[in-house]
Each structure stands twice: as C-alpha cells, then as structure tokens.
Amino acid sequence: MSNSDLADALLQACQQRGIMLATAESCTGGMIVAALTDIAGSSTVVDRGFIAYSNDAKTEMLGVSAATLDAHGAVSRETAIEMAQGALTRSRAGLTLAVTGIAGPGGGSTEKPVGLVWFGVALSGRPVVSECQLFSNRGRDFIRRETVRHALELGLRALAADQAAGAGP
C-alpha cells in the first residue's frame, strides 16, 4: 500500500470513529501531516501538525521534559511517548502520531545509528504505545518516507486494536 493509500485509510478510519488526528514530528519535518493533508477533505479529520525539530521546540510545543531529553536524548522511547502525549493534550485530536529519529546522512552513532526512529501513538483514554524501527540506511529520503509509512500503519493498527477491544464503532 502506498503512503497516499495509507493516509487515506487512516483519515477514513478516524472519520468513522469521529475523532481528529494530530502529528508530532521531528525527523520527518511535517511529512506525515503533509501526506494526510494532500487528500481532499482531510480538514474534517486533521487537527494540526506539530513540527518539533529542536529540543527547545519539543519542550515548548509538546511539553517534553528537559529531564527526559537530558537523560535519554531526543531520539528515544521516552521522548516519543512524551511527544505523542503532549500532542494529545495540546490539540483536539483523539489520535496522535509522534516520530523522532536520525534520518542522516550524519548524526548517527554506535548507540543510535542513522535510520533509528522511535514512534509514539497516543489514543485518547489509552496508554501511549511506542515502537522503534531501524530503517536501512539507504539515504535520508528513504528513511523519512519509510518513517511516514510506518507511522500511518501504526495509526491504523491502534484504531483497529481499539475497535477490536470494543471501544467504539
């Protein structure tokens, strides 16, 4: 499924549930919300996109704690969770998708190589879910596109799991 098809499916799933969606993006710089808003009619579902590229932006816009950033770094499970939760509490969205990673070509290390991305998915009334992916270092564009794809898939999975648990239509 293409990113466009995934975005369309996620918009439809949110619309069926009657919930808005927001993104909190670092390494993708707004590509997830762009994929969603490329689709006509997305304004009925997309509330906003937070582009929090710097640590200051993560703290100021999303409420990621300085202590989290100091202890774990911007590219971490803890930061992705706080980004997703912050987007949920600072928007009208019932579903948020957060991403923070190293798209390259520089910036990687042995502990956190280029291609490492942490995801956070927050669904109102549920614990934030996080996941890590290490994408093949096939260039910045590849890593960012794969990050968008995976984030959209995670959003769809979160809604499907919530529906299966009997939480809504």
The residue behind tokens 């975005």 is 7
Q: Is residue 52 part of a domain?
A: yes
CATH number, domain at 156? 3.90.950.20
Read off the pLDDT band of 162 (50, 70, 90): confident
User: The tokens 């879910």 sit on which residue?
Assistant: 129
pLDDT in tens, 88-126: 999 999 999 999 999 999 999 999 999 999 999 999 999
Range of the domain at 89: 3-161
Residue 100, classed as helix, strand or coil, is strand
Local confidence band at 163 (pLDDT 50, 70, 90 cut-offs): confident
Q: Determine, yes or no, domain membership for 168.
A: no
Whether 58 is covered by a domain: the verdict is yes
For the entire predicted model, the pTM comes to 0.96
pLDDT at position 153? 98
- Can you say how many angstroms the Cα of residue 165 is from the centroid of all Cα atoms in its chain? 22
- Could you identify the residue written with the tokens 């991305």? 117
Res 165: pLDDT = 78
In-domain check, residue 169? no
Q: Is residue 167 part of a domain?
A: no
Sign of CA dihedral 156, 56, 146, 42: positive
CA angle 73–79–80, rounded 5-degree value: 130
Domain total for the chain? 1
Give a yes or no: residue 166 inside a domain: no
Residue 167: the pLDDT is 52
pLDDT attached to residue 168: 52
pLDDT in tens, 11-63: 999 999 999 999 999 999 999 999 999 999 999 999 999 999 999 999 999 99
| Average pLDDT over every residue of 54-82 | 98
Asked, for residue 22, whether it belongs to a domain, the answer is yes
Residue 11 falls inside a structural domain: yes
